[in-house]
A and B are shown apart, each in its own frame.
Chain A
Amino acid sequence: MSRGPAALAWRRLRGNRVALAAAVLFALIVAFCLAAPLWSSGVAGTGPNEPHTVEKIVVDGQEREVVSPDGTPIGPVWLGASGKFFLGADGRLGRDEMVRLMYGGRTSLIVGLSAALLATLLAVAAALLAGYYRGKVDAAIARGLDLAWSFPVLLLGIALGSALAVGGLKLGPVEIESGSLLLPILIIGLAYTPYVARPLRGEVLALREQEFVEAAVSQGTGPARLMLRELLPNLWSTIVVFFTLVAAQSLLLEAALSFVGIGVQAPDPSWGAMISSGFALIYTSPLLTVLPGLMILLTVLSLNVLGDALRDALDPRSQAQLEIHTGSYEPELEVAAP
C-alpha cells in the first residue's frame, strides 16, 4: 500500500495547481522561442538581425515608416501588416521586435539552461568527491567553494566576461573563441557551481555517515561504484530542485551580462541585450525595454515556482501536506452488546 517516494512526489506535484500552471507557462515560453524560425519565415518575412531602417510598410492601408527620421521606431503594429512588426521595430536599426524576442529567447534559454546543466554537473562531481574521500580532499573542495563564493556573482561574471571578451579563453587544451555561446555558458556555469555544490556536499557528507554506505565500503565496493550506485541515487531530489533554481538564476545572470555587453555577443540576440538597446530609447519607446524584461520575469518566475513545488513535493517531512479529509470518514460503531 505504501508508495515509493518518487511516486508520492509525483502525485503531490500533480495536485499542486500553481506548479502545473508554472510548468505550462514555461512550456509555452519554450514553444514560443522554438517557433522563432516559423514566425520569422512564415509571418514576419525577416530575420532577427535584418535592419529595415529606411523601409516603409503598409499598416491598415496606410504607408508608414519603420523608423521615423528622428530615430523613433514604429510601435506595435499587431496584425495591421499581416504579422510583420507585430510588436513594432526595435530601434534605429528597425529590426522586427517580435522576431528578435523569439530568437533572443532561444539564445537566452540555451545559454541559461546549458549553464545550469554545467553548474550542476560540476557541483555533483565536486560534492561526490568531497563527500566520498572526506578529509583533505573535502577540505580542499570546501575551501575552493568558499573562495568562489567570495566574489559577488555578477562581479565575477563581469570580471571573467571582460577579461575573455577580446580573445576568448585558453586553458591548456581548452580553447573557446570570443564570440562563441560556450563562453557565457562557461562563465555562468562556473559562477553558479558553488550555489549547487554547497547543499549537495552537505547531503553527501550526511549520507556518507549512514550505515548502508559503511556496509558497501566494507564489502569492498570501489569508489566509482559507490559514488554512482550508492550516493548519487539519493541525491536526485536535491539535484532536480537545485537545477531548476539555478536555471532561474542563470537566466538572470545571462541577462545582466548581456545587458552590459559581455554575455551573449552580437549578432546573437538575447533578452538581456535587448533590454540594453531598449533602454537607450526608454523615453520614446518604453515597450522595447519592458517586453524583454517581462519575458525574463515570466520565464524565471515559472522556473522558481516549479523549483519550490519540486522541493515541497520531494520533502518527506512535508507537514504542509497534512489536511483534514472531512466527510469521507464514518466513525466505527462500537458494539457494546453482551
Chain B
Amino acid sequence: MTRFVLKRLAGMALVLFAVSVIVFLIFNVIPNSDPAQRMAGKNATPQLVEAITEEWGFDEPLPVQYAKTMKLIFTGGLVSYSDGTDVDERILEGIPATLSLAIGAAVIWVVLGIAFGYLAAVRAGRFTDRALTVLATIGISMPVFWLGAVLLYFLTYEVELFPNGGYVPLTEDPLDWAYHLVLPWVTVAALYVGLYSRALRANMLDAMHADHVEAARAKGLPEGQVMRRHVLRNSLIPTVTLFGLDFGAAVGGSALLTETIFSLHGVGQYAIESTLGLDLPPIMGVTLYAAFFVVLFNALVDIAYAYLDPRVRLGSSAP
C-alpha cells in the first residue's frame, strides 16, 4: 500500500508540472496581445511595461519565459500591477472564508445527497423518487450565482432573515460565523445535492440488479439490510471519487460567484474582482492554487479508493 501511495504522490508532482505549463500557455502564449501590457493591466505606463518585460522575460525564448514566470510564482513574487498588492498574501487572506464555505457546504451536500439518493433509489418509480428527482434536476439546472442572488434578495431584504453578506471569522464569533454562511452554504450545496443524489440513485439502481444482491436476498436478509450492506455500500465507492474532486475544487475556490454575491472576500471573490478589472497576475495565482487542490484531492481520492475497494488494493490474485 505504501508503494502505491508514493507512486501516486509522484504522479501528482508530474501533473502539477503539466498544470503549470498549461497555465503558462494560457496566460503567456495563446493570447493575441502584448504580454507585458496584458500583465500590467489598467495602470500601464511605458516604464512599468518595460520592467514587466524584464521580470517575466517576455523578450526571451519561451522556455526562459516559463522559468522566469514559475520563479515569480513560487517565490511569492506575483504582484498585481493594478493595485500593487502581493498576490499570495491576498490569497492567504481569503483562505479562511473559502475554506469555511467549502467545508460547510460539503457537509450539507454529502449528507443530503446520500440521503436523497438512497431514498430515491429504494423507492424508485414511486412518488418520493419522482419528487426527489424533480428537485435534484432543478438543482443542477440553476445558475448558482442566480440562486445566490435570488436568496439574497428574498431572505435578506424582503424578509430580513439573514445578514446581507459578509464574512465573520470563526475565531471571532462561531455563531455569527455560521449565521453569515447559511445562505452561501445552501447556494453552493443546492447544485451538489442535485448531482450527488442523482449519481447515487443511478449507481444504486445499477447495483440493485447485481447477482450478489439476489444472493443476499436468497439468504433471507431483510430488504433494508440488503439495500444498506450490499447496494449502498458498493454504490458509495464511486461517489467517493466524485466527492474528492468536487471538494478539492471547492477548497480551491470554485464557488467564486457565490463568494462574490455574498461578499465573503474569499479566494474566489479575489479572482472575480481581478477578472472584472482584467488584472491577470491574481487570476494566474488563483488558477494554480485551485488546480493544486484539485490534483491533490484527486490523488487522495485514488488512495482512498484503493483502500475501500479491496480488488484494487490487493490486486486480482485468483488463478
Contact = CB atoms under 8 A, between A and B. Distances in A.
Interface of A: 143, 146-147, 149-152, 154-156, 158-171, 175, 178, 248, 252, 255-256, 259-262, 272, 275, 279, 282-283, 286, 289-290, 292-293, 296-297, 300-301, 304-305, 308, 317, 319-320
Interface string B252-272: 111011000100000000011
Nearest to A318: B205
A122 B190 CA distance: 31
A158 B261 CA distance: 17
Contacts of A317: 209
Q: How large is the interface on B (under 10, 10 to 19, 20 to 34, 35 or more residues)?
A: 35 or more
B145 A275 contact: yes
B294 A152 contact: yes
A314 to B, nearest CB: 14
A275 B143 CA distance: 10
A259 B22 contact: no
A150 B291 contact: yes
B62 interface: no
Interface string B282-295: 01101100110011
A162 B31 CA distance: 10
Contacts of B27: 159, 163
B137 interface: yes
A320 B124 contact: yes
A248 B146 CA distance: 16
A94 B53 CA distance: 44
A320 B291 CA distance: 40
B110 to A, nearest CB: 18
Interface stretch (B73-81, B221-229, B273-281, B310-318): B273-281
For chain A, what secondary structure do more than half of its interface residues adopt (helix, strand, loop), or is it mixed? Answer: helix
B149 interface: yes
A132 to B, nearest CB: 24
B299 to A, nearest CB: 11
Contacts of B157: 282-283
B141 A155 contact: no
A159 B23 contact: yes
Contacts of B142: 293, 296-297, 300
Interface string B129-147: 0000000011011111111
B30 A147 contact: no
Interface in B80-103: none
CB-CB nearest 5 A-B residue pairs:
A167-B33, A293-B146, A170-B32, A152-B254, A301-B141
B125 interface: yes
B141 A304 contact: yes
Nearest to B209: A319
A46 to B, nearest CB: 26
B31 A164 contact: yes
Interface of B: 15, 18-19, 22-23, 26-27, 30-34, 37-38, 124-125, 137-138, 140-147, 149-150, 152-153, 157, 205, 209, 245, 249, 252-254, 256-257, 261, 271-272, 274-276, 278, 280, 283-284, 286-287, 290-291, 294-295, 298
Contacts of A272: 143
Given A159-B287, A272-B143, 5 more contacts: A154-B257, A158-B271, A162-B283, A255-B143, A282-B157
Most buried by A among B138, B144, B275, B283: B275
Contacts of A282: 149, 152-153, 157
Contacts of B256: 154-155, 158
Contact of A155 (B252, B278, B280): B252
A171 B149 contact: no
Contacts of B144: 256
A305 B198 CA distance: 12
Given A154-B254, A275-B146, A282-B153, A163 B31 contact: yes
B152 A296 contact: no
A151 B294 CA distance: 7
B296 to A, nearest CB: 10
Contacts of B22: 147, 151
A297 B142 CA distance: 5
Nearest to A286: B153
Contacts of B15: 146-147, 150
A297 B26 CA distance: 31
Contacts of B286: 155
A320 B283 contact: no
